[in-house]
Amino acid sequence: MTTPSITTTVQPQFNTLWQPDYTALDYIPMRDELTDYVRTRYESEGIQDDFLQSSAAMVFIDANAYVGHLIAHRAEDLVGEVWLPSVQLRKNLLKIVNLFGQTPKLPTAASLNVDVVARTQPQATITMSRLFPVQIPGLDGKTKNFELMAAPNDYYSRVVLPAGVRSQRLTFYAGTTYQDVFQSTGATRQSYQLSKSPVIEGSVFVSVYPKSPSLITPDEIVGSRIVAVPSLVTPLDQLVYKLEVLENNIVVVHFAIDRFGMVPPRGYYVYLDYRIGGGSSTNVTVGALDKNLIFRDDLNNEIQLTFSNSNSRGIGGDNQEPVEEIKERIPGHIRSTDRFSQRSDFPSLLKDELPDEIQEVFVLDYQTDKRLNNGVALNVPQNGVFLWILPVSGGDMDDDLRQVIASCIEEKNLLAQEHYLFNPDFNDWLVRADIYYSNKVDPVDLENRIRARLLAEYGAYDANGNPTNKLKFMRIINVSQVSALIQNEIGKSYGHLVLHDPSSDIDPYSINPPTFGQVARLDQDNIILSMILEEDK
């Protein structure tokens, strides 16, 4: 019996004459490299080939070159997606931005001034439903939802149309309001993804309260709102949350972790109010709305109201922040920690530095001036920033405060920018009204309560002379808001009011160009009330 012989083959060494090109990542260069390798590698074995495209060997070479091309570019793309300058996919960019503790800008919603005209003069007030909606064609041809609110992001106040006023202007805001609710487990690192998207910039508000949704009141929801923070790594002794933006403008709400902020107590309900929609297509055109709707006033009388925007258009709507803008903004924002580098830095940093001196800061830079007014409003220089400062006193800056602010800006200025400081453009407006009251009411007490309520909401100082900190730049004040505030003090059963000059809404944005830096201020002497017994009417 013979034992078969075993033949072993020694793997030949690479031909040292072949110098590979490791930068060949595309298909054709890689195919040429493989062809050169095969020709050089097997030349010593006596294998000859003409390497024509019709050759069977070229099929395998082509296949290997194609697979290598895909793998090489996939690896290159993966490496590029982890670096901010080279990232291309939005979902990967958002992960990098969140890692840096930053948040991209969500879509913003347009506001629209709407003229409301009653067919006949209302004999009683008309209380509108909360977040009363109207549908208006957008710039993209799709129907957009707009909601009536007394002020931006005021989800719970109801707008009241005063009696005796046929025509007035109300403000609607693009988007739809939602509320998500969940019950806290008491654990750390709780997170909740909002159920609807795309979420509108600045619309998310979070409340924590022990009452269930069936028992809680709107005042309790508003009064129990907690603070949003840019990062959950700062020790705080209060309930806080942080927003994370995902692809398609989905928002996740993160709550306190371990010792950084208080954890929502176990069993408490967490209420998340927010709005979805927005975008540049919500800047609806003039005349886009013209609807007749039937309502009932507070005495159950039927009345027809016409809603139209015959001389106004939607303003303020914008799309999500583009990828390239995020990539340009984030590095500068990270490097500018505790420094002025962009428009949004000025209000927060100045108020943090001088909390007892500065109440509000309004900023206008070149890009914002150009975007809002086609570059013809205030002509802010390209390297300039206009700053309007509202002191806590509710008046003008004195020389000492101006010097302190100028020194602070100079110390913290990161960019080569010129800064121009201005006092607010105060609009000392007037409230003149006839107050009809019943004989069940003390007119002196009623007048004092109305004055106190108006000053607390719109004055620099309340009725006791204490600063209110309620003054705001560019605040829109509708007649319907003032009427509702006074009527709430009167009470529906004990009288009514008639406002004089009912068409004088304060809306700086409706002016072209807008009155930047305007502060509407109500003084005690500008509240003129005529108290009239109902029987004498």
- Choose among 310, 306, 292: nearest CA to 118: 306
As a whole number of angstroms, the longest Cα–Cα distance in the chain is 137
**How many whole angstroms separate alpha carbon 230 and alpha carbon 344?**
14
Long-range interactions of 39-47: CB distance < 8 A, separation 24+: 40/15, 41/14, 41/15, 43/15, 44/12, 44/15, 45/12
Cβ-based neighbour number of residue 228 at 10 Å: 15
182: in domain? no
CA atoms within 13 A on the CB side of 350: 31
pLDDT number for residue 249: 92
* Residue 71 lies inside a defined structural domain of this protein: yes
Domain enclosing residue 49, as ranges: 12-80
If you write DSSP's letter for every residue of 418-461 in order, what string do you get? EEEEE--EEEEEEEEEEEEE-TTS-HHHHHHHHHHHHHHHHBSB
**Residue 66 forms part of a structural domain:** yes
Give the residues across from 257 on adjacent strands.
Answer: 260
* DSSP three-state, residue 524: strand
Phi, psi of 375 (to 5 degrees): 75, 15
Would 220 be classed as within a structural domain?
Answer: no
pLDDT score recorded for residue 214: 94
Kindly give the confidence (pLDDT) of every residue in the chain, 537 residues in length, as a single tens digit, with 9 standing for 90 and above.
455 554 444 444 444 445 556 566 677 777 777 777 777 766 666 665 666 666 666 777 778 877 877 777 677 676 667 777 777 788 888 887 777 777 888 999 999 999 999 999 888 889 999 999 999 999 999 999 999 998 889 999 999 888 888 888 899 999 999 999 999 999 988 999 999 999 999 999 999 999 999 999 999 999 999 988 877 766 677 888 989 999 899 999 999 876 667 899 999 999 999 999 999 999 999 999 999 999 998 889 999 999 999 989 999 999 998 888 888 777 765 555 555 556 667 787 788 788 889 999 988 877 676 666 544 456 777 777 888 999 988 899 988 888 888 888 877 765 556 788 899 999 998 898 888 888 888 889 999 999 999 999 999 999 898 888 889 898 888 887 888 888 888 876 667 777 776 556 787 877 766 778 899 999 999 999 999 887 654
CA distance 296 to 316: 32
Structure tokens at 502: 């009912």
Tokens of 310: 């015959």
What is residue 450's predicted lDDT score, i.e. its pLDDT? Answer: 92
CA distance 474 to 476: 6
Strand pairing category for 227-228 and 240-245 = parallel
Q: Which pLDDT score is estimated for 13? A: 47
Q: Is residue 29 part of a domain?
A: yes
| Token code pair at residue 109 | 């919603």
pTM to 2 decimals? Answer: 0.64
Pairing type for strands 160-161 and 126-127 reads antiparallel
Residues 6+ positions from 79 with CB-CB distance below 8 Å: none
Quick check: is 506 in a domain? no
pLDDT of residue 45: 64
Beta bridge partners of 111: 173, 315
* 21 domain residue, yes or no: yes
Residue 31 domain-assigned (yes or no): yes
SS (H, E, C) 89-118: CHHHHHHHHHHCCCCCCCCECCEEEEEEEE
Chain CA centroid to CA 246, Å: 15
What is the pLDDT, as a whole number, of residue 203?
Answer: 95
- Tell me the β-bridge partners of 245: 251
Q: Give the pLDDT of residue 154.
A: 92
For the chain, the domain total comes to 1
